């Protein structure tokens, strides 16, 4: 079974981007940790990043069409703005788990609304890079 791990804007800069908030782990480091854990769980992962909203919409459709087991989605700032991502999640049967490194509810008020979270099956946030690993582990409970 394959789990898609979709990452939105600015997450390509993890490691150097606001390390006080997001830590020093890079997206490649997260990918490596997920690949290892996925192998232990008998899963495969397909991890991608884009700074473009439409790519994320297309990948949600692709994950569904390919029969993915689940999608882990860290939509970055599009979390708080994107009705298109909300609708894409609602348009497919594959379960989507919203993921964040930080806890958006403990930050600025403009991060408190999540269009992704309103459509997702569940949310894991605030554990830093470990949020992704916890979300991957959670796919075994779906
Ligand atoms: C984030 C939280 C968002 O509010 C922010 O725009 C990001 C990263 C996180 O993983 O903590 O880009 O999704």
Q: Quickly tell me which residue has 């990452």 as its tokens.
A: 7
Clarify whether 105 is annotated catalytic. Answer: no
One digit per residue, the tens of pLDDT, for the chain of length 142 reads: 999 999 999 999 999 999 999 999 999 999 999 999 999 999 999 999 999 999 999 999 999 999 999 999 999 999 999 999 999 999 999 999 999 999 999 999 999 999 999 999 999 999 999 999 999 999 999 9
- Is 132 annotated as catalytic? no
ipTM of the complex as predicted: 0.99
Nearest Cα to Cα of residue 73 among 29, 113, 122: 122
Residue 70: CB atoms within 10 A of its CB come to 24
User: Strand, helix or coil at 70?
Assistant: strand
* Best of 102, 105, 110 for a ligand 1 pocket test (most atoms within 8 Å of beta carbon): 102
Domains contained in the chain, number: 1
Domain that holds residue 68: 2-141
State the CATH number of the domain containing residue 12: 3.40.50.9100
């Amino acid at each position: 079974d394959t789990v898609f791990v979709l990452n939105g804007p600015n997450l390509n800069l993890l490691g150097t981007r606001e390390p006080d908030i997001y830590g020093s782990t890079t997206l490649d480091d997260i990918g490596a940790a997920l690949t290892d854990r996925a192998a232990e769980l008998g899963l495969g992962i397909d991890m991608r990043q884009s700074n473009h909203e439409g790519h994320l919409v297309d990948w949600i459709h692709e994950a569904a069409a390919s029969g993915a087991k689940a999608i882990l989605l860290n939509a970055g700032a599009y979390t708080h703005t994107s009705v298109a991502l909300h609708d894409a999640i609602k348009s497919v049967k594959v379960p989507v788990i919203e993921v964040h490194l930080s806890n958006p509810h403990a930050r600025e008020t403009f991060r408190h609304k999540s269009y992704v979270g309103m459509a997702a099956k569940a949310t894991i946030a605030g554990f830093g890079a470990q949020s992704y690993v916890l979300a991957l582990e959670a796919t075994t409970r779906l």
